[in-house]
Amino acid sequence: MKPNYRRCLSCRRVGLKQEFWRIVRVFPSRKVQLDQGIGRSAYICPKSSCLQAAQKKDRLGRSLRESVPETLYQTLWQRLNQTNTQEKQI
């Protein structure tokens, strides 16, 4: 089976699907959430520069064609901080 490649909506880097975070606009409710659901998806690198640019320029909102709630960005920043602390411990 061929590997699944995706592109970061912020830095435009191409990589394996597992390397990115998935943000989904769920069909038909149009609710924006992380990781799960069927609908329009956008992928972003787990890097602070990519997340900052996506938030500042509303790249997630434009890609998903829906407004992204501030709580979702807060969750992404928390997830980023958790992964950074785990990497430092290793």
Question: What does the domain layout of the chain look like in residue ranges?
Answer: 5-89
Would you state the pLDDT for residue 90? 62
**Architecture of 5-89 per CATH?**
2-Layer Sandwich (3.30)
Q: How many CB atoms lie within 10 A of CB 32?
A: 22
pLDDT digits (tens, 9 = 90+) for 46-73: 999 999 999 999 999 999 998 989 999 9
Residue with tokens 């149009």: 30
Residues 86 and 42: their CA atoms lie apart, in Å, by 25
Distance (Å, whole) CA 13 – CA 15 = 7
Q: Convert the pLDDT of each residue in 25-42 to its tens digit.
A: 998 888 999 988 899 999
Distance between CA atoms of 41 and 25, rounded to whole angstroms? 6
